[in-house]
A and B are shown apart, each in its own frame.
Chain A
Amino acid sequence: MGSKIDAVGLSTPGFFRRGSIEMEIKAAKDCLKNAELDPNMLGILVNTGIYRDHHIGEPAIATFIQRAIGANELFTGDRTTFAFDLTNGGCGMLTGVMVVDGFLQSGTIDYGMVVTADTDPVPGESQGYNYTPAAAAMLLSRSAEGGGFIHFKAATEARFIDDLRGRIEWKQHKRKMKNILVMSQAEGFARACAQFTMENLDAFLKETSLKMKDIDLIIPSQSPTGFLGELKKKKGMEEKLVDVTDKLENVHTAGIGFALERAMSSGRFSAAKNCLFLTVGAGITVSLALYRNL
């Protein structure tokens, strides 16, 4: 038994919607609307976005989303919602799914949502920030039929630990000293990510007793820059990958949300028996998950 995806919600900046929190609220609301679910049913709400409005570090961004969508803002003695933030680079959303899946499996909650967004925290000041502002939300519940997420795997390769960095540094901006976001990606990082992904994919397939031909669809990270291009060069990958870079290039933690929504709306997701979620991020960290449609 696994956890099934009930709905997905997406958001990009609009005229009155500029920051990461506003985008996440829109994505979360749309997700609940698509599932026709009362927000008070949410047991856990996890935010996995990294680059947020003004770099807010406290409280958890998830608490602002919980309040805005109206999920058990106060204790009434009945249902409750617990909100927190989880970050794991570009793998954050899938790691969040793994954590929520656990609470669903243990019966702690009936519904959980993972919401994520990245945006330039202080536009005009950040250096090297190149992710497209976007948000995604995914609603999960226990699958009664036995499908859904059935296997997770994660691995890290620390030889490349500082090859993709996002840091707030105290440095000069124009004439003033400020706390500024500085991002950098080393040359060859995307190639290393693709290589490490393939190594772990082999191990993942062995663990699940599957062969590459059994995987019908791959929902991959849409970042870092150049990663999808490198991955497509690998044998048997291109036709299975969902690539949304034609519409939105370099979406960070929300990338798998956008790829999933495209696969769902085109019918590819429901037609796929074995769907592989494949995320990669700084570290290098690779997270993989198998989703089975029955």
Chain B
Amino acid sequence: MKTEKTKEGSPSGPSASSSPPFASRFESIGVKVPEQRLSTKDLMKGVKMWGKLDLERLTGIKERRVCSETEDSYDLSLNAALDCLKHSTHKAEDLEMIICCSITKYKDGTTYVWEPPFSLYVKEAIGAPRALNFDIANACAGMLTGVFIMDDFIRRGVIKCGMVISGENLTSASRNAVPRVKTILSGQLASLTVGDCGAAVILERSGEGKARLEVSNFVTLSKYSDLCIGGPCRDAPGAQMTTQARKIHKVAIADTPPIMGRALQEFGIECGDIDHLVPHQTSMRAVYSGGKRLGHYFGKRVKNMVVILQEYGNTASTSHFLALYSYLNEKRFKPGEKMMLMALASGLTVGFVIFTMDDLVDRYGIEN
């Protein structure tokens, strides 16, 4: 793909940021969740620890989806991309950019692919020859970081349409944590909350009467970069993740509101104007205490928190789009409602995507 700087897409300096020539919107969302379900009760049967821990009560997670032996990150990514195209007016050949954002890049089972780029496999499988492709990784903020990058290309007029994809096959970390979690303070306790999922979103140049994404305040508070570290497991196939969950929660609760305040200020809206806040789906307690803290900080709460943890657990970088997809299919959004997606991930990364719901709602639901 040619990424030539067109006249319209090449603003002449910093002043261009305040009045971009184009805007982007979510044109379609696709999801693939594995059929296999694993309840928290069944997962915890394998955990032999000191004292009692009711993980379901602690996190609100009743079950999560788990890849079968024949599924992996690639299958989830590919099927999510195909589902996204099914809901879209675009064809694969229209895509000018594909960004893969998975933390887990498993293909052929638990083989992790570093090279060639994962995005190239998906690009070839869906048949998008024009698309510029590359991979990014930014923990659970991966897909929203992909949106942040693609939005910039669309705003500048370099591309008109592209897809951000992720396929998270994370439950190997959960499986590997089961024999290692011995106390409630275990560093691998958070690994028991994850679930598998693939998600994809098409961004396109927004037109008259359509939503405009406002992507802003993507910030890395790198002082906390070592609070959650993941990589291959030392003695089992798949991944391993060590998290200082309490500290991350404490830091996130303290540091997120001022960053969100700046994002709201930038777009001239208030916290109470947000109809639906889609946070990163970690645990029910974390999500609602975060919402409460935002209410205290801004003096007014967001009207609704979109939470789907009960059925899917923490699906890492796909969690925001799985939540949107679920609510869209249940017809729980209305055109004109103000949406906010909030990234909160290891790093520690915070970021916001704000938009007004438009006719995207028409393509989802029972009749579709």
Chain A residues in contact with chain B, CB under 8 A? 1-2, 45, 50-51, 54-60, 62-64, 66-67, 71-75, 77, 80-89, 91-92, 95, 98-99, 102-103, 105-108, 110, 142, 150-156, 158, 161-162, 164-170, 176-179, 181, 207, 281-283, 285
Contacts and interface: CB of A to CB of B under 8 A. Distances in A.
Contact of B103 (A57, A92, A181): A57
A139 B104 CA distance: 29
A83 B141 CA distance: 11
A120 B116 CA distance: 17
Given A77-B258, A108-B17, A177-B235, 5 more contacts: A56-B230, A58-B230, A80-B220, A84-B138, A151-B4
B225 interface: yes
A60 B144 CA distance: 14
A167 B134 contact: no
B206 to A, nearest CB: 16
Interface of B: 1-5, 10-18, 20, 103-104, 110-117, 120-121, 123-124, 132-139, 141, 145, 148-149, 152-153, 155-156, 158, 217-223, 225-226, 228-235, 237, 239, 241, 255, 258-259, 262, 345-351
A117 B218 CA distance: 24
A60 B138 contact: yes
A164 B148 CA distance: 30
A161 B121 contact: yes
A167 B155 contact: no
Contacts, number: 229
A282 B116 contact: yes
A54 B115 contact: no
B41 to A, nearest CB: 27
Contacts of A168: 111-112, 114, 232
Given A64-B225, A88-B134, A107 B111 contact: no
A107 B16 contact: yes
Contacts of A71: 222
Given A66-B225, A107-B11, A57 B104 contact: yes
A58 B114 contact: no
B220 A102 contact: no
- Between B18, B158, B231, the greatest number of chain A beta carbons within 10 A of the residue's beta carbon is seen for B231
A181 B350 CA distance: 32
Contacts of A281: 115-116
A75 B1 CA distance: 37
Contacts of A102: 149, 152-153, 156, 158
Contact of A59 (B5, B12, B114, B346): B346
Contacts of B2: 152-153, 207
Nearest to A81: B220
Q: List the 10 closest pairs (A to B, CB-CB), nearest first.
A: A107-B17, A282-B116, A58-B230, A179-B232, A59-B346, A166-B115, A168-B112, A67-B222, A63-B225, A66-B222
B137 A167 contact: no
A87 to B, nearest CB: 5
Contacts of B115: 50, 89, 164-167, 281-282
A82 B219 contact: yes
A51 to B, nearest CB: 7
B237 A179 contact: yes
Contacts of B124: 158, 161
A56 B229 contact: yes
A156 B135 CA distance: 14
Contacts of A63: 220, 222, 225, 346-349
Contacts of B13: 1, 107, 142
A4 B135 CA distance: 24
Contacts of A154: 1, 3, 132
A1 B20 CA distance: 16
Nearest to B15: A107
A71 B152 CA distance: 23
- Between A60, A66, A152, the greatest number of chain B beta carbons within 10 A of the residue's beta carbon is seen for A60
A56 B149 CA distance: 23
A81 B349 CA distance: 10
A105 B115 CA distance: 30
A58 B1 CA distance: 30
B116 A55 contact: no
A142 B5 CA distance: 14
B219 A81 contact: yes
Given A154-B132, A161-B120, A57 B231 contact: yes
Given A59-B347, A158-B124, A77 B139 contact: no
B152 to A, nearest CB: 5
A146 B159 CA distance: 22
A259 B334 CA distance: 55
A1 B116 contact: no
A150 B149 CA distance: 19
A1 B7 CA distance: 10
Contact of A75 (B153, B156, B259): B259
Contacts of B222: 63-64, 66-67, 71-73, 81, 83
Given A1-B10, A80-B219, A178 B136 contact: no
